[in-house]
Amino acid sequence: WQTIAGEHGLDGDGHYNGTSDLQLERMNVYFTHASGDKYVPRAVLVDLEPGTMDAVRAGPFGKLFRPDNFVFGQS
């Protein structure tokens, strides 16, 4: 997601910082425009272990995802 976000001019929080209209042209293929002028990935992250999701949330692009797009098993 870091590469795709960079190609579309998005920072780690999902805000557009690009300079090209071409970047915005197909933004809706990978991202949904959310409130606060923010873009979030059109993805659901699924794993059996919550630790994997915690690692994604703690990473540089963890704020890019919506909390309800994380699905994981509970012990």
Query: What are the strands, taking DSSP E only, across the chain?
Result: 31-34, 38-41, 45-47, 70-72
Model confidence pLDDT, tens digit, residues 30-52: 999 998 889 999 999 999 988 99
User: What distance in Å separates the CA atoms of residue 1 and residue 36, rounded to the nearest whole number?
Assistant: 20
pLDDT for residue 57 is more than 80: yes
Q: Model pTM?
A: 0.81
pLDDT for residue 8 is more than 70: yes
